Structure 1
Amino acid sequence: MNVEIPFESERHAEIALNSVIQDEEPRAGTHIERKITVEGNLLKIHWEAEQARILRTSAQSLLQLLILVTQTIEQFDGWTSRTSRSQWTSSSLKCPRSPNSRPVSILKLKPCRAEVANLVEQQETLTKMQFLFELPAELKRKIKEGDFESAVDDYIKANSVLKNYDNHPSFKSIQEECELEYKELVAKLEEPFSENDSEEELLIRCIRLLVKLDEDRSSSLADGFLKSRITKVKHRDNTLKSFSSEISAILADICVNITSFKNVFHERNLNSSLAAQHAYQSLKRHVNDILEELTDDFSEILVTNDLSDDQLSTSLDLWYSKLSATAQILPELNLTGRSEELVVSQAKIRHDSIRKTLFMKLEEEILKIEKSESPGATNAAILTLIRDSQHQLDKFFTMSKSYSQIEYFLVEWSDMAKTLKIDAVDHIASFCKKTLETAHPALLFPLSALASIWSETTVDQCIERKDRQTVNRLKISFSQICSAALKELVIIRGCHCAELIYRSVMAKDWLNASEPRGPRPIVKTFTDEIRKIDEECSKFMRPGVRPAKSTRSGSMRIDTLSQRSTLNIQRLFTDKIEIYDTVQSTTISVTSGIIKIALKAMLESVRLKTFSSYGLQQIQVDLSCLHHILWRYCEDESHMSTISDEILQSAALRALERELMEADVIELIVEKAQLA
């Protein structure tokens, strides 16, 4: 640490140096070094020490000695320190005087006054420095004794002095020690705010002193007061009965502490209306947080105790009545609104619980449709679930008295109750769509039948007819689900049959085929599969319009070699057959779609093979047998005839010899096969 002390003259500085230089600084065990020099009229002192405490002690001792030296110089050296005897004599000779009077020296007073003023100024400076060096110890003593008022005054006074020397390195250690003591002082003043048994007068006294030190601490003090005084009570057990007995005591304690808070953090104590407003905002936030915690605890208790509808309604009425009564004491905190929020939220939670339970039961019922007696039985079970849930919801609302006192909730609950059926039907539709993505083929038949029933009649039964827009939307949705399920079924079954036919064609050596005596085994397999599908469909849907008996001949001839060009010309004037067309909710539509997919696969496989004359005749026999059986399972027999003709023409174009079997022979083979 470096200190420079100005004197009136270099002589005075040397006198001070000679006076203090004799007092050698002890070295053993103190770890401090001191160096004193004179430059002009400045006495320069340099200290080096490992600890600030030792440095402060040494500086304090030296400054006390310098004060004594300054006082001695002022007393004994007088004005002659600046004016020599010769100067005084020469000056006094110039002054007029009478023969009998004493010499009058005008110059004598001016040097003395200036000297005294300078010495007084030096003494004041040294006194201030001594005060600063002693300040940390004084602050520590006063804080320990509890004299907080004096400690605050000393710190404020020292802080104003230290600001004048804030750029001087000599006062850095003093500032650091003062800051430590300042923090200790602030901690002592803030300590009562974190204790729940502090008296109100002590709190007012402390907050006034803290305001002197820092006006922006009101928010933190308010938070400390609130955290220590207004806290959430830990419940002995997590039961509704225990919570109900404790809630009254909790709210009463909150009221008492709010009154105390308003007295402590009043505008007259904070000296600022803005700070008082901020403190009051902290109060509102904290109490709101406590009430939110109580609300959460109550909500948790309602959930964990698994209450019935009657018990839940009674509990909500109890909560609403207690908070409504407390709201008269604390109108600023809007406790009535908070109690209403809890009642409404719990009612909505129970509504969502009933709704969720209904949805789960609906999903289980839909997944069991495969084992059900019929789609109609599943449909009836679904309607029963929806009616029971609606009745439970209406009964729950009429149990509680608090619901009727919350006006805005009456309309909201009415809307929630009305939309339960619509939400249930929407969920059925969405679940059916989701099920189609991963459904087993055996589930597609009954699922499509259920969707068909809903689209035709059940939607009208379940939802009020006044809402025609919603009814029409749901009907269209179920109709689309039915079509999607049937189309998926047709594709799955059709691809299965197509794979069987494709493998049978690709596996046979058609060039070395023997003369046909009957249809190949794949014909019976395919026709049996179609019959099976027709029987399954008839359990879940209408048969549809079946075609009349066909009069088409079983013979298929190729008269000329230019048949390919003729066939291409015929195709120009023939409507295109949609293989993957829309499937209606009838049995005939399903079987017709499967047959078209299977015959299309046969056509593509025939185009990859080469046939002998017997091989071509075998294809002719197979097609005749298929047509003999499958015409009754097609919506339009002409589609099957067109695809069959195209298959035979393709085989003929790839045959080495285009010799077809006579129609009479084919009829005999078909009758002998006994496929009907």
Structure 2
Amino acid sequence: MATTVGAAPTALDEKARRTRDLLASFYNTDSAAAGATAASPARPSPTAATASPLESINSTSFNPDVYMDVLVQQSNLEALLQRHVKMAAEIKNLDTDLQMLVYENYNKFISATDTIKRMKTNIAGMETNMEQLLSKITSVQSRSDTVNTSLFNKRENIEKLHRTRNLLRKVQFIYDLPTRLNKCIKAEAYADAVRFFTGAKPIFEAYGDTSFQDCKKASEEAMDLVIQQLQAKLYSDSEPIEARAEAVVLLKQLNFPVDNLKSNLLEKLEDCLLNLQTEPTQASVGDISKTFRAYLIIFPDSESRLIELAHALFTNRYETVREALKERIPSTDLLAMLRGLWEDATAIDEVISEAALPAFSLETTRDIIKQHIATAFLHLQTEISDVLVTHSTSNEKLEESQLQTAMEKSKIKVSQGCIDLLQEFRHLIDGNTELLVKLKDLIIDWVQEGFQDFFQKLDGHFHLLSGRSTGFSQESSTVDFVQIDKVPTVLVLMLAQLCVFIEQTTIPKVTEDLADSFSGGGARSSEYGPPFVPGEICRLYRSSGEKFLQHYINIKTQKISKLLNKRFSTPVWLKHKEPREVNMFVDLLLLEFNGVVSEVKQILPGLIRRHRHSDSTGSTTSSRSNPMREDMLNRSNTNRSRSQFLENHLAKLFEQKMEIFTKLEYTQESVISTVLKLCLKSLQEIVRLQTFNRSGFQQIQLDMEFLKSSLKEFIDDEAAISFLLKEVNNAAHERCLDPIPLEAPILDKLINAKLAKIKEQSANM
């Protein structure tokens, strides 16, 4: 029994030891240390002595007896059972993990075993083979020593013969060199010829004056021909730039002086660039880029000269564009040319960036576009002027509808011309190229400034066409008579109406389009203010229109006044005969006035109104119905003259004050009335400078009475005209020595006779 009990703890200890070894291998602990601990369990380690027995179960110095004693002392039965269950579970888990570890590495163990077996099999006969190899190497070495010993005496002779053979080959090459060079020349293999000659050159330098003198001379003659051929290829326009570059490289290898070639080639390149077309193809620009690149490679010190040539090339091409601007060209065509030049400059800039061609092109393009905008405005101004001058100088041959058409054409030319310009300029800012994006703000400012300057210059040109300076005063009525004769009066009237049209229609339309398509800008300094100020332009044309209208009235008035002055100065009024019909100056006055009416009706708006003012005012009192004047006819000449003079002065005192010159308006009625009033006022002043006898005074009376009835169809201010006619009659009365008027029946008879004559002439026409 005791034996059985003693054997059981021994088997248990063996199993526990094996388990600990497995755990030690699983946890990578030192097996030697574990074995030492197992062999001497009675010697506890310092760590075990200091550590708690319950915590040292996983250490190498674990003592199960101490562990059990401590566990029994510190735990009751229930705690021991729980510890047992927990430890059994841990042991089971460790066994499972160990089995998995062995299973996972089983294939590796089998593979390692098979490899070891194969190694043993393969190495079995290796020692025998190595011994055989060693014996063979020894045999080869002995035979090599035998050969070296037998050939040692002949080796020096063989090497000497080999050197001699190489020398003979070189000598043969030297003697065959002229023939080889000639073959290369015929085949145009100049690179091979240069290579052969440069290879033989050291021998010629050493022995060329003795043994190989003839060969050297023949070879040099052949190379002279090669040099000539290379120079010809270099200067040939048909050769590609790569072939020319190769020719220069070969000439350099022959130590040929290329400085002269460089200057000649650069001059040739300059001539070639100057002869380029205005719009070169992309291929030609590519050739230029290749040429510049090749020149930089061949002549590195020619960069400054190439930069000058590049600038000269683009300066010439941009100058061609400037010349084209003198004739008006569409913006699309201009942009196509500028875009091509920009792309060419960018391409060449990749080769010689030091030339700064893009910056040069940008600056030049800026000036060209600005010039294009200014030229477009100048052409529009010229076209407007041509339309005005062409139709106004031939207005006498035009019918009423044709002159109205001419006026409409002038308006259309101004309005549509501005719209067309805006459409043209819109192409300049709609492009998305790098060039236009950089200049967009400047272009917007230039367009706005251009319209401001255009309208100002157009106004100045209108003043020039009208024969007056811009400083002409509206109140001034003094115009040189020679100048009046040269200026078409209808042109002045058309300019006045055109100014109104520009102010009321064109400028608002241009302002609207500028706001839609040309807003922004801001490239110019803010101290100069906005580029386009429509309010300022409107005020300018409003003022100019008023001046032109006043100028037209002055021209017409002074022309008629000049005619009246001439007619009144010719006869001797003191010897005038009794009036028998209306004076000729009345017909001339009506003829000139009909011309004014015809022009005004074709240019200005509005119809002539037929207003009949009351004759109750003192200014419209008819001489034929005045009983005071009939009573005066029965008196003596002296009494009648004195009484008439007093009557006129008394009538002026009690007459209603009348406004003769009203504000001038852009209507037919206003212009016609103003011209007629000024003419009658001028006639009054002319009459005051004359002295009349009775017949002369009666002639003036007859003429004024006829004008009173004839002018009714032209004017709406009948009262003012009647007043002015009466003033003329009164002026003649004052300047008459015997102011006895015609009797009413005689006056009516003469007027009716004149009217009948006019009617008869109209019927015959």
TM-score normalized with structure 1 length: 0.54
Distance 1:257 1:487, change over 3 A: farther
2:358 pairs with 329, 336, 340, which one? Answer: 336
Q: d(CA) in 2 for partners of 1:658 and 1:226?
A: 108
Distance 1:253 1:642, change over 3 A: farther
The equivalent of 1:472 in structure 2 is 535
What letter is aligned with 2:388? I
CA contact (8 A) 1:487 1:582 kept: no
Residues 553-581 of structure 1 show CA distances to partners (whole Å, capped at 9, x for unaligned) of 221857745947984995999989888x9
Which stretch has the larger CA shift, 363-372 or 431-440?
Answer: 363-372
Q: d(CA) in 1 for partners of 2:576 and 2:372?
A: 75
The equivalent of 1:443 in structure 2 is 491
1:334-413 correspondence to structure 2 within 5 Å: 334-370=356-392, 373-395=405-427, 397-398=429-430, 401-404=433-436, 406-407=437-438, 409-413=439-443
- How much does 1:493 deviate? 2.5
Q: d(CA) in 1 for partners of 2:651 and 2:675?
A: 28
The equivalent of 1:320 in structure 2 is 342
CA contact (8 A) 2:579 2:699 kept: yes
1:651 pairs with 714, 727, 732, which one? Answer: 732
CA contact (8 A) 2:609 2:715 kept: no
The equivalent of 1:4 in structure 2 is none
The equivalent of 1:623 in structure 2 is 704
Q: Does 1:433 align with 2:463?
A: yes
- How much does 1:546 deviate? 6.1
Partner of 2:605: helix, strand, or coil? Answer: coil
CA contact (8 A) 1:451 1:482 kept: yes
- How much does 1:309 deviate? 5.5
Q: d(CA) in 2 for partners of 1:638 and 1:597?
A: 15
Partner of 1:609: helix, strand, or coil? Answer: coil
Partner of 1:235: helix, strand, or coil? Answer: helix
Q: d(CA) in 2 for partners of 1:431 and 1:376?
A: 19
1:42-441 correspondence to structure 2 within 5 Å: 233-235=270-272, 237-239=275-277, 240-241=279-280, 244-249=285-290, 251-252=292-293, 255-256=296-297, 259-260=300-301, 289-302=308-321, 312-324=334-346, 327=349, 333-370=355-392, 373-395=405-427, 397-398=429-430, 401-404=433-436, 406-407=437-438, 409-419=439-449, 421-437=451-467, 439-441=487-489
2:665 pairs with 561, 584, 591, which one? Answer: 584
Q: Does 1:498 align with 2:520?
A: no
CA contact (8 A) 1:538 1:587 kept: yes
Residues 626-672 of structure 1 show CA distances to partners (whole Å, capped at 9, x for unaligned) of 22332554565555445434433332233222322345654454344
Q: d(CA) in 2 for partners of 1:308 and 1:636?
A: 54
CA contact (8 A) 1:547 1:635 kept: yes
CA contact (8 A) 1:323 1:339 kept: yes
Q: d(CA) in 1 for partners of 2:656 and 2:457?
A: 45
- How much does 1:338 deviate? 1.9
Distance 1:339 1:253, change over 3 A: farther
Distance 1:312 1:515, change over 3 A: closer
CA contact (8 A) 2:556 2:675 kept: yes
Residues 203-257 of structure 1 show CA distances to partners (whole Å, capped at 9, x for unaligned) of xxxxxxxxxxxxxxxxxxxxx9998997661127341327624531454267458
* Structure (1 or 2) with the larger CA radius of gyration: 2
Q: d(CA) in 2 for partners of 1:512 and 1:295?
A: 86
The equivalent of 1:42 in structure 2 is none
Partner of 1:464: helix, strand, or coil? Answer: helix
Contiguous gaps of at least 5 residues in structure 2: 1-247, 393-401, 468-485, 516-529, 630-639, 760-765
Q: d(CA) in 2 for partners of 1:298 and 1:454?
A: 40
CA contact (8 A) 1:564 1:653 kept: no
Q: d(CA) in 2 for partners of 1:574 and 1:228?
A: 100
The equivalent of 2:20 in structure 1 is none
Which stretch has the larger CA shift, 376-385 or 541-550?
Answer: 541-550
Partner of 1:548: helix, strand, or coil? Answer: coil
- How much does 1:291 deviate? 3.9
CA contact (8 A) 2:698 2:741 kept: yes
Distance 1:505 1:322, change over 3 A: closer
Distance 1:598 1:320, change over 3 A: closer
Q: d(CA) in 2 for partners of 1:345 and 1:360?
A: 22
The equivalent of 2:612 in structure 1 is 548
CA contact (8 A) 1:233 1:250 kept: no
CA contact (8 A) 2:330 2:424 kept: no
CA contact (8 A) 2:452 2:531 kept: no
CA contact (8 A) 2:429 2:440 kept: no
What letter is aligned with 2:338? L
- How much does 1:418 deviate? 4.5
What letter is aligned with 1:450? L
- How much does 1:541 deviate? 0.8
Contiguous gaps of at least 5 residues in structure 1: 1-195, 203-223, 263-282
Structure having the higher helix fraction is 2
The equivalent of 1:613 in structure 2 is 694
Distance 1:604 1:520, change over 3 A: same
- How much does 1:505 deviate? 2.6
CA contact (8 A) 1:613 1:656 kept: yes
Distance 1:255 1:569, change over 3 A: farther
CA contact (8 A) 2:645 2:733 kept: no
- How much does 1:336 deviate? 3.1
Residues 369-411 of structure 1 show CA distances to partners (whole Å, capped at 9, x for unaligned) of 436515234312432233233323323554573424x52x121
Distance 1:308 1:572, change over 3 A: same
Cα-Cα RMSD: 4.6
Q: Percent identity?
A: 15
Q: Does 1:670 align with 2:751?
A: yes
What letter is aligned with 2:272? H
CA contact (8 A) 1:610 1:655 kept: yes
Q: Does 1:595 align with 2:673?
A: no
Distance 1:542 1:510, change over 3 A: same
- How much does 1:535 deviate? 2.7
Q: d(CA) in 1 for partners of 2:656 and 2:265?
A: 93
Q: d(CA) in 2 for partners of 1:568 and 1:258?
A: 110
Q: d(CA) in 2 for partners of 1:298 and 1:575?
A: 76
Q: d(CA) in 1 for partners of 2:734 and 2:300?
A: 105
The equivalent of 1:462 in structure 2 is 510
Partner of 2:574: helix, strand, or coil? Answer: coil
What letter is aligned with 1:548? R
Q: d(CA) in 2 for partners of 1:332 and 1:560?
A: 104
Q: d(CA) in 2 for partners of 1:498 and 1:245?
A: 76
Distance 1:472 1:344, change over 3 A: closer
What letter is aligned with 2:622? G
Partner of 1:389: helix, strand, or coil? Answer: helix
CA contact (8 A) 2:296 2:302 kept: no
Residues 41-72 of structure 1 show CA distances to partners (whole Å, capped at 9, x for unaligned) of xxxxxxxxxxxxxxxxxxxxxxxxxxxxxxxx
TM-score normalized with structure 2 length: 0.48
CA contact (8 A) 1:310 1:399 kept: no
